[in-house]
Amino acid sequence: MTDSIPQNKELTKKQKNRLVLLLCIILAFTVMNGTMFNVAIPDIAEDFDLLPSQVTWVMTGYILVFAVGALMYGKLADIYPIKRLLTIGIILFATGAAIGLFSQNYAFLLIARIIQAMGGATIPALAFIIPARFMPKERGRVFGTVSATVAFASGLGPITGGFVGGAFDWRYLFILSIISLIAIPFLRKWIPDETVRSGSVDIPGAVLLASSVAGLLFFITMFSWIGLTIFALSLTAFYLHIRKHPAPFIDLEMLKDKYYTTAVLTSFLGTSVMFGMIFIVPIMARSVYGLSTVEIGLLLFPGAMGAALVGQRGGRFVESRGSFPVLQTAFLLAVGGSFLISTFIGIPPYLLALCILVQYVAFPLIQSSTANLLTELVPKEKTGVGIGMFNLMNFMSGAISSAVFGAFLDLQNVRLQLNPVVYSDNVLIYSNLFLVISVIAAAALFLFTKQFKNRPDPLQKS
């Protein structure tokens, strides 16, 4: 006998706490899966003799499928029960991990990561929908807890990845993802029951969008004109398709809301800042400082822990002060942190870790405040689609930024110095990239402030 709760019944405090705990545990597995492999990127590149632009596909391919899946599952959540989607997702996630555990070549590894992404995309997609659907009164606080979990897991990931990869082999990192299967009986019991609702999912639209982005990424990483052609043709076909489809993969009507579109675009830019930092730092740490896999994890750890602490408070800040000032503060931290890293690359690693911390703490604030804002901007019946678009743009941002930065890292003997006060002149490629990241964060801050400054924050309490 189970005590699962029908959708139309109010959850008790105990049931809500239990559900949030389960959500955070499942989410931690997914986030750690990403950050563990970030630390292992230099080792994977050495094992398979890859350039930065090639090894980036360990992240880029995963994130691309993750991005499309995030929106797909967001749409499916408006039709099918969440517990069913999560069950299928975790099984796929663990299956991909099992394949990756035995990967002996780069192609095999990429296949494993793609299968993982097909399942893992359910988790962040639904992590922001569950609070909005089952705990609407506490959603700001829960979003903060979810964002803090993301930050904490992203900090635990590098440490775990460093120790496992350093002591054994990076393939053993997949074992932790397989363990996520343990969560299935609990989610089947604790997530409220729901009925199947009417609706449809635009699978051809999803395929066309994924093809267009994949073509763009191939062009960026390999300068393939075939990739650029695929991008142009697929994007054109996608646009013509969604104009005629009754339930398109991307809802053009929703994008006509300038506040919603600005919030999503702002999040896109903010996520590119964070993914850029997380991708570049391990490669920079190995190249500039000669750090081991374990030491790279320790370099990232203080920032991730600081982000976890700030993220825990972030939801309360949003509830009490509104999304507008919190998001502004987050982007100021991102601008400052990126500029500090750009300036002081070359100083002792323990001091550089403090610069990384400043940028890292911006991440949970951007996530929680934007997600909370979107739940106010999007009609209740379109929560899944609205949050799905948010997740799609975030992960697309991660895939594109990783590919772009990976391509630039292939450059040798860079002489151009964009930052006039850089600490060391033999790290110009990394200094320049972090200065660009700082400019991107500043652009996001300007865009958001300009659009929202004259609009009362819907989350600001009267």
- Residue 349: is it exposed, middle or buried by C-beta count within 10 angstroms (0-12/13-18/19+)? middle
Residue 5, pLDDT score: 43
Q: Which two tokens stand for residue 443?
A: 């652009």
List pLDDT tens digits, range 130-174.
777 787 777 667 777 776 777 677 667 777 777 787 777 788 888
pTM, two decimal places: 0.69
Q: Distance of CA 175 to CAs 112, 178, 318, Å? A: 13, 5, 37
Residue 284, pLDDT score: 87
Mean pLDDT by 10 residues, the chain (462 residues): 47 78 82 74 80 72 75 79 88 91 86 88 78 73 73 72 76 86 85 75 81 79 80 90 80 78 86 83 85 80 79 67 80 91 88 90 80 74 69 74 77 75 76 91 90 62 40
CATH number at 13-201+249-452: 1.20.1250.20
Interatomic CA distance for residues 221 and 234, integer angstroms = 18
Residue type present at position 341: I
Domain definitions of the chain by residue range: 13-201+249-452, 202-248
